[in-house]
């Protein structure tokens, strides 16, 4: 049996006298010094790093006893692949949201999800004013400084209020939920459809809504009352308009999140997660997860990357200006909190029994059991009633 003989020759090497940075870490500060050695015939010297120092920069050094081999590995390739995947995902999400600015919205999806009790245009608020034990409310307007409270139409009991280009659009609770519009000076009150409706969103020249007269299927209608068109065959709620897409909660399919083009084509299920009250903010869909006692979660627009945000069950929420405003279901229930979009910064704001969270600028508008509209600042101060 031939035995391999190894011959070692003495060489002259010098310890490196300056920092040697690998991934930002100076590896010339450990027990084993880095060497500076110029092999015979080499034009320049080379830096030699002891294998023992590799672990300091994230590499893994393993002695393979069976094969008498030292194996060095790192997560470089894994991280590189992950970066490539995230880059592709980001490009996909950008393609979905490249047309985020539709031609004007009459209200936010978060407010409409909370019954749209208040609308706003310029420095006027439009709201449902209910007095005492009255069965129906009144469509009224008031300046944002709470002066010049003015009734527009008595006893229409408006909800899902949208205000756009000098018109108020709303669900008329006194007329079986049919959609009406009226100029902001209270003239030209017009019924637009005989459909009973919820989740009304106005965008540009179109209204989008859940048609309760047809099993809550998605419809769209021109703001002049013409061009009615059914967009899906699903019982739908929580309508969000993003570019040329409508995202919604498909009640017919176990509350799963779906999207469909505004012309009714390309209906797509995002995933098999039951998602209540979906709201879109940026590239994220926020929702209550019934599989986890209605705690708040978020996921990306393609339905991936599901992340839990809250540690308490919630009854409603609204996403606005970098915060999630939500109410708890713990006794006594309806406590109003806020947290940042990543779930941090949980802050108690005010009140018990808060419902219908609507947000404009720095104010939160809401109702309680008596249906009066209140407001407080988003920092929880200056509680007021609108009337």
Lookup: tokens for 57: 């920069």
Q: Is 55 helix (H, G, I), strand (E, B) or coil?
A: helix
Lookup: tokens for 237: 């709620």
pLDDT of residue 57: 67
pLDDT of residue 81: 67
pLDDT of residue 140: 95
pLDDT of residue 4: 59
pLDDT of residue 385: 92
pLDDT of residue 88: 64
Cα 261 from Cα 270, distance rounded (Å) = 14
Residue 75 DSSP class: S
Cα 171 from Cα 9, distance rounded (Å) = 92
Backbone phi and psi for residue 269, each to the nearest 5 degrees, phi listed first: -85, 130
pLDDT tens readout for residues 209-249: 999 999 999 999 999 999 999 999 999 999 999 989 999 99
Lookup: tokens for 341: 């979009």
pLDDT of residue 101: 44
pLDDT of residue 93: 58
Write out residues in the chain with pLDDT < 50, as ranges.
Answer: 98-102
pLDDT tens readout for residues 80-107: 667 766 766 666 555 555 444 445 899 9
pLDDT of residue 267: 96
Strand 190-191 with 178-183, pairing:
antiparallel
pLDDT of residue 102: 44
- Look up the pTM and report it: 0.75
């Amino acid at each position: 049996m031939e035995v391999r003989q190894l011959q070692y020759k003495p060489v002259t090497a010098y310890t490196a006298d300056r920092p040697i940075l690998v991934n930002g870490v100076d590896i010339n500060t450990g027990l084993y010094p880095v060497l500076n050695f110029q092999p015979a015939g080499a034009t320049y010297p080379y830096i030699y790093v002891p294998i023992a120092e590799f672990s300091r920069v994230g590499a893994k050094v393993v002695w393979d006893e069976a094969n008498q081999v030292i194996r060095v590995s790192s997560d470089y390739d894994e991280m590189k692949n992950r970066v490539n995947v995230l880059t592709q995902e980001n490009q996909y999400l950008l393609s979905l949201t490249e047309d985020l600015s539709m031609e004007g919205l009459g209200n936010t999806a978060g407010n409409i999800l909370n019954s749209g009790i208040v609308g706003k245009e310029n420095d006027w608020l439009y709201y449902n004013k209910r007095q005492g034990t009255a069965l129906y409310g009144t469509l009224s307007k008031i300046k944002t400084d709470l002066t010049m409270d003015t009734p527009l139409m008595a006893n229409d009991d408006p909800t899902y209020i949208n205000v756009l280009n000098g018109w108020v659009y709303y669900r008329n609770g006194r007329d079986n939920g049919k959609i009406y519009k009226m100029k902001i000076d209270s003239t030209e009150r017009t019924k637009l459809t005989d459909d009973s409706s919820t989740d009304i969103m106005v965008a540009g020249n179109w209204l989008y809504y859940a048609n309760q007269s047809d099993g809550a299927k998605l419809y769209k209608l021109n703001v002049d009352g013409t061009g009615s068109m059914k967009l899906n065959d699903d019982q739908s709620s929580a309508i969000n308009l993003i570019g040329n897409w409508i995202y919604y909660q498909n009640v017919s399919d176990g509350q799963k999140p779906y999207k469909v083009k505004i012309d009714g084509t390309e209906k797509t299920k995002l995933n098999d997660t039951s998602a209540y009250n979906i709201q879109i903010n940026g590239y994220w869909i926020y929702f209550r997860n019934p599989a986890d006692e209605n705690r708040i979660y978020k996921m990306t627009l393609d339905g991936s990357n599901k992340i839990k945000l809250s540690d308490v069950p919630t009854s409603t929420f609204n996403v606005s200006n970098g915060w999630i405003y939500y109410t708890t279901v713990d006794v006594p229930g309806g406590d109003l909190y806020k947290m940042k979009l990543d779930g941090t910064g949980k802050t108690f704001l005010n009140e018990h029994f808060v419902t219908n969270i609507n947000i404009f600028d720095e104010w939160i508008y809401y109702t309680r059991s008596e249906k009066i509209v209140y407001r407080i600042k988003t920092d929880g101060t200056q509680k007021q009633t609108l009337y």
